Structures are given as structure tokens and as C-alpha cells.
């Protein structure tokens, strides 16, 4: 049951990214799906923290339903999202000039924030890459701590 709770956390994060893409790249209003996925993420974390893993099947059903409804909103934009995943990974992780700084910024997000401000005027590309990685690292640390402490306590 714990595995279903953890899987639904990752799937809910994927649904949030999916609808964020649709919000930015389509003409459709998907704010309802974004807000429900945020609420579902928080409620799923509290469910795991409370040890009521049976509710995780509800979140799993919501996630699967929302992924299917994404195609009902816009088939073209949904297919474009799935086609954009591989090029995004390729562009993000093959940029040898900044990949080391991005990893450092994501793992040690205070260092990433400092690198953002230090390089903001001199090397704007490096600054933005470090800032984005630091923000992602901060969100992941908070999310993982909440998930781990919720499961452990």
C-alpha cells in the first residue's frame, strides 16, 4: 500500500507538469486541472503522513482520469507534450558547459542561489541555469522531506 502512495505522488507531479505544459502551449483553460492536481498532491502527502494508504487508490484514479482528459482537452497539444520530453532531456543533460553547475545547484540549492546572483550580470545563461536548478532542488528537498517524514512518522 505504501508503494501505491509513493507512485501516486510521482504520477500527480507528472500530471501537474502535463497540465502546466498544456496551459502554456494551448489556448484551452486548464486551471481547474492544475488546481486539482496541486490539491491532490498536498492531500496525498497528508494521506501518506497519516498512514491511510487506501485513499492512494483514489489519487491514482484521479491521475489516470486527468491524463486521459488531457487528450480530450487537446489531442495535438497532448501529443506535442509527449514528443517534447525526449528533446527536453537531451537539451538539458547534454549541455556540457553548465551541467556540472546545474547538478551542484540542484543538490546544494543555497549554492545555486548564490551562483545565480554572482553570475547574473556576467554570464546570464549560467545564472538562469543555476537559478532554475536551485529552485527545482529546493522544491524537491521540501517534497522529499515531507514524503519521507510523513511515511516515517
pLDDT tens digits, residue range 42-98? 888 888 778 787 888 888 899 999 999 999 998 999 999 999 988 888 877 777 878
Q: Is the pLDDT of residue 151 over 90?
A: no
Tens of pLDDT along 103-140? 899 899 999 999 999 999 998 888 998 999 999 999 88
Cβ proximity of 63 and 8 under 8 Å: yes
Cα of 21 vs its chain's centroid, Å: 11
Instruction: Provide the pLDDT for residue 153.
Output: 62
Give the pLDDT confidence score for residue 53 in this predicted structure: 77
Q: Torsion-angle region of residue 123: left (phi > 0), alpha (psi -120 to 50) or beta?
A: beta
CA gap 64, 118 in Å, rounded: 43
Range from 18-22, 35-39, 148-152 carrying the lowest mean pLDDT: 148-152
Please give the model's pTM, rounded to 2 decimal places: 0.75
| Predicted local confidence at residue 75, as pLDDT | 92
* pLDDT of res. 51: 78
- Note the pLDDT of residue 18: 93
Q: What integer pLDDT is reported at residue 110 of this predicted model?
A: 93
Cα(first)–Cα(last) distance of the chain, in Å? 16
**HEC profile for the chain?**
CHHHHHHHHHHHHHHHHHHHHHHHHCCCCCHHHHHHHHHHHHHHHHHHHHCCHHHHHHHHHHHHHHHHHHHHHCHHHHHHHHHHHHHHHHHHHCCCCCHHHHHHHHHCHHHHHHHHHHCCCCCHHHHHHHHHHHHHHHHHHHHHHHHHHHHHC
Amino acid at each position: 500500500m505504501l508503494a501505491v502512495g509513493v507512485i501516486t505522488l510521482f504520477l500527480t507531479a507528472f500530471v501537474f507538469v502535463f497540465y502546466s505544459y498544456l496551459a502554456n502551449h494551448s489556448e484551452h483553460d486548464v486551471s481547474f486541472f492544475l488546481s486539482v492536481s496541486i490539491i491532490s498532491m498536498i492531500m496525498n502527502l497528508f494521506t501518506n503522513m497519516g498512514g491511510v494508504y487506501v485513499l492512494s487508490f483514489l489519487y491514482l484514479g484521479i491521475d489516470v482520469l486527468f491524463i486521459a482528459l488531457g487528450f480530450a482537452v487537446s489531442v495535438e497539444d497532448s501529443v506535442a507534450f509527449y514528443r517534447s520530453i525526449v528533446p527536453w532531456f537531451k537539451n538539458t543533460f547534454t549541455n556540457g558547459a553548465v551541467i556540472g553547475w546545474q547538478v551542484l545547484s540542484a543538490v546544494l540549492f543555497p549554492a545555486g542561489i548564490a551562483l545565480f546572483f554572482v553570475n547574473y550580470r556576467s554570464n546570464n545563461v549560467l545564472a538562469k541555469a543555476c537559478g532554475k536548478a536551485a529552485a527545482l532542488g529546493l522544491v524537491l528537498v521540501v517534497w522529499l522531506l515531507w514524503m519521507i517524514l510523513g511515511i516515517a512518522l
